[in-house]
Amino acid sequence: MQYRTLGRTGVQVSALALGAMNFGAIGRTTQEEATAMVDIALEAGINLIDTADMYGRGESEEMVGKAIAGRRDDIVLATKAGLPMGDERNHRGASRRWLVTELENSLRRLGVDHVDLYQIHRWDPATSDEETLSALTDLQRAGKIRHFGSSTFPAYRIVQGQWTAHERRLSRYVTEQPSYSILQRGIEAHVLPVTEEYGMGVLAWSPLASGWLSGAVRRGRSIATSRSRLRPEGFDLALPANQARLDAVERLAVLAEEAGLTLIQLALGFVTAHPAVTSALIGPRTRDHLDSQLAAADTVLPADVLDAIDAIVAPGTDLAAHEKHDTPPALLDPALRRR
């Protein structure tokens, strides 16, 4: 296992990190299975576990807490808040009111007195940067979080957050957690240059592109992944974007075979090769999934393979731009771009 420094924090984390979104109802993973996967991941050298309050409405956090009991100090523990936790309108977002309340809920579910990294799951346009950063700074000074970061923020919001922290003399976001894979490379054009400029750690989620790069999605084969069950439109081959992804996957599979790698090794090796990326978040649903992904722990792609990937999916290109999660609200809501 390779280790990198998480931004400028001095904290050493593994190049592969364990994402716990599939623990519980989402992935139909039991506590016994989740604990076994945590055991295997830690034995393999993974030391960063990432979850979120809204994964199963707190179920993932509870399962992670039980799985790490008795070995908390050996783990860099990360969670997130901000996405809806119910129908109540104030049980979401990045206001001081909600973050203070929800952190206490997360600590209780995890069975710990602090988390190492607390992340804002999505930018909240209803809350000012100063409000959010001042709340996070106070929680940090209280010892309940060690560091804090952002997740899936547009590049301009990352810059704005850094500027506000500097101007208001508040602690700053030290990490960003964006979606990044061979098939979704748009952040290379804007987010990653910004995170490098500010010395931020980057935890890349969905490095297997929601299962497209797992080896389970191939031409002439019925598509059956956990993501296709939850979001079938993301795998509808009647859509041109999905056809483009399938074409790329077929070419990438040939490239991987020629390089003596699995498609998973190719995909994860690509993400961890970028100098701006600290860790790739793997999100296994089963022990077999975990084993196949851990096989990429020491994968280092040579320059000719990386060049071949560039020839299949150009740098800075999103093959499914409609699935981007950091689109400015005004592009989605016409009322926001009209007087």
Structure tokens that stand for 40 in this block: 């295997």
Q: Is 3 a catalytic residue?
A: no
Q: Helix or strand or coil: residue 53?
A: coil
Q: Output DSSP code: residue 75.
A: S
Closest CA to 293 of 188, 206, 184, 197: 206
SS (H, E, C) 96-155: HHHHHHHHHHHHHHHCCCCEEEEEECCCCCCCCHHHHHHHHHHHHHCCCEEEEEEECCCH
CA distance 273 to 227: 25
The SS3 of residue 42 is: helix
| Set 55, 118, 173, 180: catalytic member | 55
Which amino acid does the sequence have at 52?
Answer: A
User: Distance between CA 48 and CA 50 in Å, rounded?
Assistant: 7
Q: Which residues make beta-bridge pairs with 282?
A: 18
Q: What is the DSSP letter of 29?
A: B
String of DSSP letters for 169-208: T-----EEE-B--SSB-GGGTTHHHHHHHTT-EEEEB-TT
Coil, helix or strand for 79? strand
Is beta strand 201-204 parallel, antiparallel or unpaired with respect to 279-282? parallel
Give me the count of residues in the chain. Answer: 339
251 close to 312: Cβ distance less than 8 angstroms: yes
| Rounded Cα gap, residues 14 and 274, in angstroms | 15
Residue 153 vs residues 6, 160, 236: alpha-carbon distances, Å: 18, 10, 27
Q: Which residues are catalytic?
A: 55
